[in-house]
Amino acid sequence: MDQHITVDWTACQGHGLCAELLPDHITLDEWGYPLVEGSPVPPRTAKRAQRAAADCPVLAFKLATR
């Protein structure tokens, strides 16, 4: 099963740390909120994605298995 990036929009405060840690998967909109491309996270990026989820100040960034 593939892992995908999800964002809890009610919790996200637009800190942008996720985009700094995963610039190849996440960009920021004009207000600093993440724009997620929606494709599966490749295995070579999984550890960085897990770190981004753990380092999110409000824990709004998550990895979900589909």
Q: Distance (Å, rounded) from C-alpha 44 to C-alpha 56?
A: 20
CATH of domain 3-65: 3.30.70.20
Q: Distance (Å, rounded) from C-alpha 58 to C-alpha 39?
A: 23
For every one of its 66 residues, what pLDDT tens digit does the chain have, with 9 covering 90 and above? Answer: 799 999 999 999 999 999 999 999 999 999 999 999 888 999 999 999 999 999 999 999 999 988
Q: What is the model's pTM?
A: 0.83
Q: 10: buried, middle or exposed (CB in 10 Å: 19+, 13-18, 0-12)?
A: exposed
| Residue 16: partners with Cβ closer than 8 Å, 6 or more residues away | 28, 32, 34
Give domain limits for the chain. 3-65
